[in-house]
Amino acid sequence: MGDPGSEMVESVSPAGPEASESTADENEDDIQFVSEGPSRPVLEYIDLVCGDEEPTTYHSDILFPKMPKRQGDFLRFLNVKKLKTDTESNNRNKNHCGLPKLKESHFKYVEKPVIEEKPSCSSKEEIDNLVLPDCWNEKQAFMFTEQYKWLEIKEGKLGCKDCSTVRHLGSKAEKHVHVSKEWIAYLVTPNGSNKTTRQASLRKKIKEHDISKAHGKIQDLLKESTNDSISNIGDKQNNKNIDATVKVFNVVYSLVKHNRPLSDIEGAIELQEKNGEVNCLNTRYSATRIAEHIAKEMKMKIFKNIIEENAKICVIIDEASTVSKKCTLVIYLQCTAQSVPAPVMLFVALKELVSTTAECIVTTLLSTLNDYGFTNEYLKANLIAFCSDGANTMLGRKSGVATKMLENFPEIIIWNCLNHRLQLSLDDSISEIKHVNHFKIFIDKIYSIYHQSNKNQNKLLEPVAKDLEIEIVKIGRVMGPRWAACSLQAATAVWCAYPILYLHFSHSYSGLANRLANINFLQDLALMIDILEEFSLLSTALQSRSTNIQKAQKLIKRTIRALENLKIGTGKHESQIEGLIKSDKFKDIPFNKNNKFKALPRNLLLENIIQHMNLRLLSDRQYEESIFNYFDLLEPSTWPYEEITSPWVAGEKKLFHLCELLKYEIDLKDFREFVSNNIKSNNVSIPTTIQKAKKIVGTIAINSAEAERGFNLMNIICTRVRNSLTVDHISDLMTINLLGKELADWDAIPFVKSWSNCNHRLATDTRVRQKSSKAFYENQLAIWNLK
């Protein structure tokens, strides 16, 4: 087909100098005049449909041969007058496809059944139902869509169906060659103030797009994929470049998993290029975009599966500051999944906080969850618990985050981190007994001496330790704002380095040496280590991912019983004191009992600790006891079998409240069967709904240890050297590190394909930003030219 601009000048729109002089009415008359005898593009279409392979002599050329301008104007005037009187007859002569009915005397070949051809009729009917550009009529739209098969009209705007299908060039991309977004999105409109100029504008845009290089490449891609579906075009034409991009993705993934700076990619890619690989995604900017893409795809895939399963979730949050002093909120969720036997803890995001008020934290939390598909409706139906530490901002009774969450989701369980409550119970006991506080001050004094000066530890302690064959452990704070395991480590370090510390203090710190020579202090140290060991065991067990709320209650009660036994008898370290004093390592220490340094009130200290553990851990809130009673319905070991009859009426009353807490309906028939089977035998199968309920109970997080681990990873990633990382970038790196598989098990191909489908550059695309080349001085290179 020829140029639509030149064809339309003859057929549908006046052109040349005459066009500017004609009015809108004359333009309409010109169109009617053309309907008297079909234009050349329409005749070519009729020839194609009818199968006439012989060259056709057009009667329009015979009837209206080319003539001078004035004669053409006069003839046009005559025909316009003729058409104005014969409008009705012309309309009657039109066939149902919209083409004029041709006279047999003029065009014998029209007798072939052109009218019955289905495609032309259907396309014409589609045009009749379309909203056309304001400067076109149906005949013009029909002609252009037939001449340019790729042309489509939507809501009065033009677009390219081929470009819209393929959308990007992939491996055929070249520099400065781009697929037009306007043609893809059907946004092409005419320009100009009158009908003539707007028609000319559309003709020009259609012609330019038809001959454009990008559109030609799209046509080539479609021809190459004639035997395949359109959805596989991008994958097939990118297959030869996928491997190169996969290698870049693997490099970025490895750097993130090992907490390496993304700028290291330049050295890694340089090594690949040395080995013969060609990669253009070799800058830290490309690595950052790739890491963002991988993190986004991971989250969307995982969270989509959770939402589709309608899984119950528990939200865990904590607040801390980065190296650059920015307040951040770390968000985790624990959920149940059908394919996983135990609840799964998932990192959601690290978000920067504008302020640390409860309103800001709640707004940030809910907006983040909504961004990942957890709508408010989903949360109302599936959010069963909220866990955080005991800070006033988080769990304040009047205006804390937990209170505001209850306003939005009234039926959720609010849980205070058990590890923080364990530490608070120990702190409460210390604050009430002054002797314990004096012991803490003395240990902190030892810590400050050796922590602030490496010289004291390296030059003074190590020679003595080497002579005594004792390993020096770094001495930290005892009973500070850290969990019990840290306090135990500090106290144990003093216990192991006891002889060395005395020899050092005897030369420079006589007061501290006298304190160490007091046997009461050694007994106090042994007692505190025995107590801290029990706290450390409990703290470590509570931090385990496999510990649920019911198991935690058992562990707490077991620790309380261990402390009660310690109150009656002696601990492991207390029983070693007499043997240590007589040993060779302690022979240089003149132990004595100085009443100036009073010993700890042993029984009072243990009694206070037990009392505060009961208050903090077992009955810290009023409704926690009732929650445990409801959850005990799923644990046969806690049932009062002497009171149970079948059916268990009291248990069935509690069952209704348990279903409200878990937002899950437990079948009453299953519960009765569960009760009856356990009365008869201990080893019985558990009904399906009971199993699901037990998994949901395991979803409730009992501590914020996972959030603490997240902050630890954040500090590893955002060091003082990498403090220019934004919070969003840190969140992406944490996502890959926490949610991603190991490099050996990770498949980069799906991520590379989604990267390509998002119209990103592949590794072989030369249009990406190139890394800066290193400048070598002539002297550096000259030494290699020496002979």
Instruction: For 504-547, give the secondary structure using H, E and C.
Output: HHHHHCHHHHHHHHEHHHHHHHHHHHHHHHHHHHHHHHHHCCCC
By CB atoms closer than 10 A (0-12, 13-18, 19+), residue 540 is: middle
* Helix, strand or coil, per DSSP, at residue 429: helix
What is the structure's pLDDT at 131? Answer: 85
- In whole angstroms, what is the distance from residue 390 CA to residue 394 CA? 7
Return the H-helix or E-strand segment holding 770: none
What is the structure's pLDDT at 623? Answer: 59
What is the structure's pLDDT at 683? Answer: 66
CB distance 688 to 670 below 8 Å: yes
Read off the pTM: 0.68
What is the structure's pLDDT at 460? Answer: 52
What is the structure's pLDDT at 81? Answer: 39
**What string of DSSP letters covers 635-700?**
-GGGS-GGG--SS-HHHHHHHHHHHHHHT----HHHHHHHHHHHHH-SS-PPPHHHHHHHHHHHHS
Regions of the chain with pLDDT less than 70:
1-129, 170-171, 225-240, 278, 323-324, 435-438, 446-447, 449-486, 618-625, 682-683, 723, 766-787
By CB atoms closer than 10 A (0-12, 13-18, 19+), residue 643 is: exposed
CB distance 763 to 244 below 8 Å: yes
What is the structure's pLDDT at 616? Answer: 82
What is the structure's pLDDT at 62? Answer: 38
- In whole angstroms, what is the distance from residue 311 CA to residue 328 CA? 27
What is the structure's pLDDT at 425? Answer: 85
Residues 522-533 have pLDDT tens digits of 888 899 899 989
What is the structure's pLDDT at 471? Answer: 45
What is the structure's pLDDT at 746? Answer: 94
What is the structure's pLDDT at 743? Answer: 92
